[in-house]
Chain A
Amino acid sequence: MTSQVDQSEAVDGSDGDEGRSGPGEGRSGPTAPAGPTGPDAPQPGRVKPIRRLDRVIIRFAGDSGDGMQLTGDRFTSETASFGNDLSTLPNFPAEIRAPAGTLPGVSSFQLHFADHDILTPGDAPNVLVAMNPAALKANVPDLPRGAEIIVNTDEFTKRALAKVGYAADPLADGSLEAYHLHKVPLTTLTLEALKDSGLARKDAERAKNMFALGLLSWMYHRPTHGTETFLRGKFAKKPQIAEANIIAFRAGWNFGETTESFAVSYEVAPAKLPAGRYRNISGNLALSYGLIAASRRSGLPLYLGSYPITPASDILHELSKHKNFGVRTFQAEDEIAGIGAALGAAFGGALGVTTTSGPGIALKSETIGLAVSLELPLLIVDIQRGGPSTGLPTKTEQADLLQAMFGRNGEAPVPIVAPATPAECFDAALEAARIAVTYRTPVFLLSDGYLANGSEPWRIPEVGELPAIDPDFAAGPNREDGAFWPYQRDPQTLARPWALPGTPGLEHRIGGIEKQDGTGNISYDPANHDFMVRTRQAKVDGITVPPVEVDDPSGEARVLVLGWGSTYGPITAAVRRVRADGGEIAQAHLRHLNPFPANLGTVLRSYDKVIVPEMNLGQLALLVRAKYLVDAESYNQVRGLPFKAAQLADVLWAAIGTLDEEDHR
């Protein structure tokens, strides 16, 4: 028996649902394991039966030094190259090496992969790989009955058990009876496999994560070539270590094939994604590539001014590798200098970018206000994390929306774009650049920790199909008398001219002091200030953004669920569940938060009820209530983790139910 979701359990499959009867916090409670209906016949070259599944959720968990993120990354790459749809959720502590064997030191990597399109890393794992007692204890509560647990028994010593508060050995006391437990002495087996490698015991032991990866690769028929190539590349300067890891990896695979503990293996067929060439990509990588693409498509050299901060630093790391694209990366002395340098470069005609997280935005606020006043293009990338203050550095949240909207002195409107998935971070970077350059304005790009580190397959776009961005630099005087006015606006966009130093005849001075309309000279005139404040607002309000799309297949829904940012995955998965169970629900997701799409008010008013799930205490809800006078209802969670699909499905059902009750009154 297994809890893994096989074909018989899947929703009809046509809508590619996340699997309403999948294990987890479904509203009908944990699902009883279903009998296997897939073909169990052995395949040629395989001595054991193979079962077909439509999707699987695996979680690798261990000490933060055990290499769980690497193991997860490798399994993800194997899965991507096999052609499954996938979604990942890395989850790790802020400490680099928290005390070994303790609960706070547990690092995990969850991967959901399927033969159809999926939207989330999954609510609850079907398989847990626990490298030590701490990893078991921290993760067992998330497992549905019948889940498979693979434990490294070598680590279950009296001392290790006591360290995390296990009074008795959970592998022996029957407390795991609800699960399908595989007891594997991973360390011993790895050492045995490497006994002729000449490596010291300590070094050999470190390959145990590759043994586990090999075992899981056997279980799920993952291709292995990519991992072997990867290991040879990673340890190119230490061929002995590379060989040892490959031996451990193969030993894990062979162990699965031969040991009796693992009776069956599983197949998850490739997903039928839209035609095209694909790769796997994380949000921060997609965002970095989007910035380089925006630089290429605009002809503006990219200048990143940044200060290291979790979870944004990977963008600085990535961009610093691409100097051959003319990318300048400046690691500043602080957050303020990071944005200052980016703004200075923008004055000189670069595509200025600063990347940070919430605490960094707080420090940059004054310079963002200056950019609003200077009316120069600038991208401000905020990879949101748990707050306030230092908060939860490695966990996700979307509580910087109001900071991005309003977190400056004076009336300082800034456009905001927000990607919905990791791959969409690429498009969001291009879109933010388009708005910034076209309208001469700083633009916020709000990503978050979940999008940044999560990954999914991405259809690689053709360079020619990417939007072109025209910087349209000022080339000469714009007044009849031969003068140049730096604040003479384009009548359509209200954008001011961008005149670069080095252009003769356009010498001008701009600053943070209020300036006279047109000339840009200092002005304290009351009517002029009133005019300039309203004009800067009108410029942002007038930015062309696409209408928000509503997904309401039957047209009969009375409840609309509205989201923004990374909640797209779980909200959409929940919507699919509700519809699969016969519910009517409409969905809209915002990629532009300032200005809102022009049709948003009409959309909101067309439904009897609007539900807004957010990983904050209701920031988007506050904005739409204020702007459109609709009774939008918040559903909130700030646990540092994404919503679960089952949890949101319950919320949507409750909203539908409330309306029905009101009707009967």
Chain B
Amino acid sequence: MNEQFPSLSLVPKADAPQSAKEFKTDQEVRWCPGCGDYAILAAVQSFMPELGIKRENTVFVSGIGCSSRFPYYMNTYGVHSIHGRAPAIATGLASSRQDLSVWVVTGDGDALSIGGNHLIHALRRNVNLKILLFNNRIYGLTKGQYSPTSELGKITKSTPMGSLDAPFNPLSLAIGAEASFVARTIDSDRQHLQSVLRAAAQHEGTALVEIYQNCNIFNDGAFEVLKEPGTRDEALIRLEHGQPVRFGADGGNGVFRGPDGELFTAAVTPENEAALLVHDAHAASPATAFALSRIADADTLHHTPIGVLRDVKRPVYDELMASQLATAAAHRGPGDLATLLAGNDTWTVD
């Protein structure tokens, strides 16, 4: 049993402490200079030793896009697959090998456009997968078309007069798809990123981690308001389970629930302080997590919550699958091929 990471209880433990360096490969990293992916890679590489599992029992699976080159740079087992299909491929791997820690690396186009179907079904099945969704709100590898998270009216190469598509809210989508773990973090905040990775790794079942990631070539500064020292305190809401939801300089602002059940933000006063929303990531109902996922202003990104929005216990697909096999073997024996082939109606020709 892995006490800190129950989701890894069947994964063999490492013989000795590991270092971030062991998780680096000899491959030249080929993202554009200044890309947010570098920061995420470094954060993941330095986080992995914390899991305390054998490196060879770790697998990274990706689809297509800039983010999906990630496995080449992780000195673990890895599959760089095809566009949108990583959750499906990882589902087959994770549901047949409970002794592996399986991670999916994907992007907003890969996961939410061409692979949207696989993402929602992985979430509802609750396979033991950790999905890192790098959201840069643009198509990078195909050189700058709008993505399913790009804002309405965005001017890109394929939308010279502005995009006509209303964007997806990835966290709302995930919660709607019955996700048992939903979180958001930011590429440039290593400490926060790793804290979210830790929570995701602890979670039993599918974990979706949206990582706001800057594409400095095609969508530079998309999340600047969340990073800039002058604006970030006002713009970011850092969620912590069991804590009142406060933000702004010195926590001067907070999130409240109105009489109609809707969430709203307001300055915290001695009068309303007791009414502050207390974040409950483990709430059985997804309603408040859903409301939090939509509290940010879509245009300005003000009041963007980061951290773990939802983390609930639900039966895990691969465990259920393994348990059906064990039950069948216990009730009917391990299966005799000769008996199976013969069936019940045979005759003999001499």
- Chain A residues at the B interface, C-beta cutoff of 8 Å: 77, 80-83, 226, 270, 272-280, 289, 292-293, 296, 301, 303, 305, 322-328, 330, 332-334, 336-337, 340-350, 352, 366-367, 369-370, 374, 460-463, 501-513, 521-522
Looking at chain A's contact residues, is the secondary structure mostly helix, strand, loop, or mixed?
Answer: mixed
Taken together as a complex, chains A and B put the C-alpha atoms of A522 and B59 apart, in Å, by 18
Q: Are B82 and A512 in contact (CB under 8 A)?
A: yes
Q: Kindly provide the distance from the CB of B55 to the nearest chain A CB, expressed in whole angstroms.
A: 7
Q: Which residues of B contact A83 (CB under 8 A)?
A: 347, 349
Taken together as a complex, chains A and B put the C-alpha atoms of A279 and B349 apart, in Å, by 11
Q: Per-position contact with A for B15-34: 1 when CB-CB < 8 Å, else 0?
A: 00000000001010000000
Q: Find the A residue at minimum CB distance from B331.
A: A324
Q: Are B72 and A322 in contact (CB under 8 A)?
A: no
Q: Find the A residue at minimum CB distance from B55.
A: A507
Q: Are A508 and B342 in contact (CB under 8 A)?
A: no
Taken together as a complex, chains A and B put the C-alpha atoms of A112 and B337 apart, in Å, by 30
A347 partner, pick from B25, B72, B79, B327, beta carbons under 8 A: B79
Tell which of B83-91, B182-190, B196-204, B287-295 binds the partner.
B83-91
Q: Kindly provide the distance from the CB of B49 to the nearest chain A CB, expressed in whole angstroms.
A: 15
Q: Which residues of B contact A348 (CB under 8 A)?
A: 92-93, 96-97, 100
Q: Kindly provide the distance from the CB of A223 to the nearest chain B CB, expressed in whole angstroms.
A: 10
Q: Are B57 and A501 in contact (CB under 8 A)?
A: yes
Q: Which residues of A contact B93 (CB under 8 A)?
A: 344-345, 347-348, 501
Using known A-B contacts A325-B335, A340-B89, determine if residue A330 contacts B346 with beta carbons closer than 8 Å: no
8 A Cβ contacts from B58-108 to A: 58-61, 64, 71-72, 74-82, 85, 88-97, 99-100
B81 partner, pick from A272, A275, A370, beta carbons under 8 A: A370
Q: Which residues of A contact B335 (CB under 8 A)?
A: 292, 322, 324-326
Using known A-B contacts A324-B332, A344-B91, determine if residue A508 contacts B77 with beta carbons closer than 8 Å: yes
4 nearest interchain CB pairs?
A511-B80, A344-B92, A341-B92, A340-B88
Q: Are B88 and A341 in contact (CB under 8 A)?
A: yes
Q: Are B88 and A322 in contact (CB under 8 A)?
A: no
Taken together as a complex, chains A and B put the C-alpha atoms of A461 and B346 apart, in Å, by 12
Q: Kindly provide the distance from the CB of A236 to the nearest chain B CB, expressed in whole angstroms.
A: 15
Taken together as a complex, chains A and B put the C-alpha atoms of A505 and B77 apart, in Å, by 10
Q: Are A463 and B78 in contact (CB under 8 A)?
A: no
Q: Find the B residue at minimum CB distance from A502.
A: B57
Q: Find the A residue at minimum CB distance from B317.
A: A330
Q: Kindly provide the distance from the CB of B336 to the nearest chain A CB, expressed in whole angstroms.
A: 9
B160 contacts the other chain (CB 8 A): no
Which of B71, B324, B347 lies at the interface centre, i.e. has the most chain A CB atoms within 10 A of its CB?
Answer: B347
B260 contacts the other chain (CB 8 A): no
Using known A-B contacts A326-B335, A340-B88, A347-B79, determine if residue A272 contacts B100 with beta carbons closer than 8 Å: no
B117 partner, pick from A324, A334, A369, beta carbons under 8 A: A334
Q: Are B92 and A330 in contact (CB under 8 A)?
A: yes
Q: Which residues of B contact A277 (CB under 8 A)?
A: 342, 346-349
Taken together as a complex, chains A and B put the C-alpha atoms of A209 and B207 apart, in Å, by 54
Q: Which residues of B contact A327 (CB under 8 A)?
A: 325
How many chain B residues touch A (CB < 8 A): the figure is: 62
Q: Kindly provide the distance from the CB of A648 to the nearest chain B CB, expressed in whole angstroms.
A: 29
B262 contacts the other chain (CB 8 A): no
Taken together as a complex, chains A and B put the C-alpha atoms of A501 and B12 apart, in Å, by 12
Q: Are A80 and B92 in contact (CB under 8 A)?
A: no
8 A Cβ contacts from B283-333 to A: 321, 324-325, 327-329, 331-333
Q: Are B76 and A507 in contact (CB under 8 A)?
A: yes
Q: Find the B residue at minimum CB distance from A457.
A: B347
Q: Are B82 and A366 in contact (CB under 8 A)?
A: yes
Q: Which residues of B contact A279 (CB under 8 A)?
A: 342-343, 345-347
Taken together as a complex, chains A and B put the C-alpha atoms of A343 and B90 apart, in Å, by 9
Q: Find the B residue at minimum CB distance from A339.
A: B88
Q: Are A460 and B118 in contact (CB under 8 A)?
A: no
Q: Are B92 and A305 in contact (CB under 8 A)?
A: yes
Taken together as a complex, chains A and B put the C-alpha atoms of A461 and B337 apart, in Å, by 11
Q: Are A328 and B325 in contact (CB under 8 A)?
A: yes
Using known A-B contacts A324-B335, A337-B85, A509-B78, determine if residue A342 contacts B71 with beta carbons closer than 8 Å: no
Which of B61, B94, B328, B345 lies at the interface centre, i.e. has the most chain A CB atoms within 10 A of its CB?
Answer: B345
Taken together as a complex, chains A and B put the C-alpha atoms of A340 and B327 apart, in Å, by 27
Taken together as a complex, chains A and B put the C-alpha atoms of A333 and B84 apart, in Å, by 13
Q: Are A275 and B349 in contact (CB under 8 A)?
A: yes
Q: Which residues of B contact A278 (CB under 8 A)?
A: 346-349
Q: Are A509 and B96 in contact (CB under 8 A)?
A: no
Q: Which residues of B contact A521 (CB under 8 A)?
A: 27
Q: Find the B residue at minimum CB distance from A346.
A: B92
Contact sample, A vs B, 7 pairs, CB 8 Å cutoff: A80-B345, A277-B348, A333-B121, A337-B121, A344-B61, A348-B92, A509-B80
B333 partner, pick from A324, A340, A352, A507, beta carbons under 8 A: A324
Taken together as a complex, chains A and B put the C-alpha atoms of A460 and B339 apart, in Å, by 10
Q: Are B342 and A460 in contact (CB under 8 A)?
A: yes
B328 partner, pick from A226, A323, A340, A504, beta carbons under 8 A: A323
Which of A81, A322, A507, A513 lies at the interface centre, i.e. has the most chain B CB atoms within 10 A of its CB?
Answer: A507
Q: Which residues of A contact B117 (CB under 8 A)?
A: 333-334, 337
Q: Which residues of A contact B250 (CB under 8 A)?
A: none
Q: Are B54 and A337 in contact (CB under 8 A)?
A: no
B340 contacts the other chain (CB 8 A): yes
Taken together as a complex, chains A and B put the C-alpha atoms of A303 and B88 apart, in Å, by 13
Taken together as a complex, chains A and B put the C-alpha atoms of A330 and B347 apart, in Å, by 35
